[in-house]
Amino acid sequence: MLPMNLANALIDAFQRHPEKAAIYWGGEIITYAQIVEESDWIRNYLLKECQVNPGDRVALWMKNTPEFISILYGVLRAGAVVVPLNYFLTAPEAELILRDSGAKVIFVDDAMYKGANCMREVLPEVNLCHIKNLSAGPSETEQIMHTASVKDEDDLALIIYTSGTTGRSKGAMLTHGNLAHNVNSCVKTMRVSETDKIVLLLPMFHSFMVTVGILLPIKVGGSIVLIQSLHPPKNILQEIIAAGATILPAIPPFYRAFASSSLPELPLRLCISGAAPLPREVLKKFNRQSNMSLLESYGLSEASPVVTLNPVDGPWKAGSIGLPIHDVAVAIMNEQGLEVPRGQTGELWVKGGNVMKGYWNRPEASAEALCHGWLRTGDMGHADEEGYIYVTDRKKDMLLVNGINVYPREIEELIYECEGVKEVSVVGQIDQRKGELPVAFIVMEDGCNQNAHAILEALKPKLAAYKIPRKILFIGKLPRNATGKVLKTVLRKQLQA
């Protein structure tokens, strides 16, 4: 019997069906046996060539490729800790994370090699490995059993660096137990089985894809449909159809694109939107275009990351992030840490085996985020009488107008209802008399008129006067991070300029 941890979940799936398709990569099929062989080679390379010890950190800085998955499991099988790096980072930004994590090895692909090679002078102690130099030979089942990982649930598995939309990114420490708990919760809540094929199209460095796109299908012995080409969007649909994918986890911009086009009949049984708020108008348009279920979810890296999901069988509520997933608790708390009555706004706190160990090398930040087993999310929201949760806004994004709380998402949802509006983000502009004033940045659909007056007139019957944006600025596109979250800090800086 193998010790149950993330690495051994792969071995377990391999033993059950070694020749099954683990990954669909364009026209190529990669079996469980191949992933195990490659991860075995990675494990041996790390232990013998790089002198990696249990608990050492190993960074992965590469685009979405099948090798990412083999390397991830190879690192875990070596007893080391995976540090996925955002491939949109510049070399100096990546260097900060390598220094902070104390990474001993970094794996890169062609796209990242130049940046990583530049860091060799300042970080000579970090072993640089290009994935084109990887090789693997056949591994005997008996040998694989002998190299099973002995890590337990309290051992560190990943350090996921937060996107840093509000400042310097922090490394969320996720243990084998944290991630296994979240995977098991997703299995039960989403009813995932070995017949499912889960689409992986978002960046693999993001916790949403690590858990739902990689660990989840491997755990159940299912398949990963790794999308090879994102542009044009029809390529995604073609690969989904060709592989017979059943579950699509994606972000709102993808569903917005799908909702704006004519969709063919797809094999998907479940579409999940996460990583950023799903505007109601996008949900409505998608539902008009498709008979598939689009369920909004909620999570954060510090919670491994999935926290809530609209029920698979319904009822589904537009604007709601749904109910807590299996074996996870969510409470709406006030500033004193007391639960507020349903319907009242407070901060979302999360509790469960999925909650992180803390932030790497950040004891003060850890103490601020964790309280008696609860994770303070920094998100504001409320629960209705049936327990469905609604996120109002980030606590840090909330505006204070004349001493009254104003939630940008409320304004944004109403602006989305205006004809021709493609995207919108509301931020606060400092005002000496009123504290802050709402300002709306709007992206219009191609060919639609930029009519600020019409938008403001449409808002007046629906919003209190102090919530009406004092300024509307039309821009070509909103600044976003790799997972689709709007960078409101960038918009605020534009107002200050």
pLDDT (tens digit per residue) in 108-128:
999 999 999 989 889 999 999
| The pLDDT value given to residue 146 | 43
Average pLDDT estimate for 155-167 = 77
| The pLDDT value given to residue 141 | 46
Is the pLDDT reported for residue 356 higher than 70? Answer: yes
Evaluate whether 237 touches 266 at the Cβ level (below 8 Å): yes
Evaluate whether 263 touches 290 at the Cβ level (below 8 Å): yes
CB-based burial label for 461 (10 Å; 0-12, 13-18, 19+): exposed
Give the pTM: 0.86
| The pLDDT value given to residue 151 | 67
**Phi, psi (rounded to 5 degrees) for 181:** -60, -45
Evaluate whether 39 touches 70 at the Cβ level (below 8 Å): yes
CA distances from 346 to 367, 380, 382, 393 (A): 20, 5, 6, 10
Single-letter residue type at 300? L
Evaluate whether 423 touches 491 at the Cβ level (below 8 Å): no
Single-letter residue type at 116? A
pLDDT (tens digit per residue) in 192-212:
999 999 999 999 999 999 999
283-302 CB burial, b ≥16 within 10 A, e <16: bebbeeebebbbbbbbbbbb
CB-based burial label for 47 (10 Å; 0-12, 13-18, 19+): middle
- Least confident window among 120-129, 293-302, 430-439: 430-439
Is the pLDDT reported for residue 137 higher than 90? Answer: no
Angular region, 435: left φ>0, alpha ψ -120 to 50, beta rest: left
- Nearest-angstrom CA–CA distance, 25 and 237: 14
pLDDT (tens digit per residue) in 28-61:
999 999 999 999 999 999 999 999 999 999 999 9
| The pLDDT value given to residue 4 | 64
pLDDT (tens digit per residue) in 465-488:
889 999 999 999 999 877 778 888
CATH code at 398-496:
3.30.300.30
- Least confident window among 281-290, 436-445, 468-477: 281-290
Other beta carbons within 10 angstroms of residue 417's beta carbon come to 15
Evaluate whether 224 touches 214 at the Cβ level (below 8 Å): yes
Angular region, 300: left φ>0, alpha ψ -120 to 50, beta rest: beta
Q: Please give the residue that has the higher pLDDT: either 75 or 232.
A: 75
| The pLDDT value given to residue 395 | 76
Nearest alpha-carbon partner for 178 in 204, 210, 149: 210
DSSP strand E in 162-228: where?
171-175, 197-200, 223-226
| The pLDDT value given to residue 142 | 47
- Nearest-angstrom CA–CA distance, 435 and 398: 12
Instruction: Tell me which DSSP letter residue 152 carries.
Output: -
- Nearest-angstrom CA–CA distance, 490 and 438: 15
Instruction: Specify the CATH architecture of the domain 6-383.
Output: 3-Layer(aba) Sandwich (3.40)
pLDDT (tens digit per residue) in 254-263:
888 888 878 8
Return the domain boundaries, the chain.
6-383, 398-496
- Whole-number percent of the chain with pLDDT over 70: 95
| The pLDDT value given to residue 294 | 92
- Nearest-angstrom CA–CA distance, 166 and 278: 20
Average pLDDT estimate for 176-203 = 97
| The pLDDT value given to residue 396 | 79
Single-letter residue type at 90? T
| The pLDDT value given to residue 145 | 46
Confidence category of residue 287, pLDDT binned at 50, 70, 90: confident
Average pLDDT estimate for 383-389 = 96
Mean pLDDT of the chain: 90
Evaluate whether 157 touches 76 at the Cβ level (below 8 Å): yes
- Nearest-angstrom CA–CA distance, 197 and 233: 19
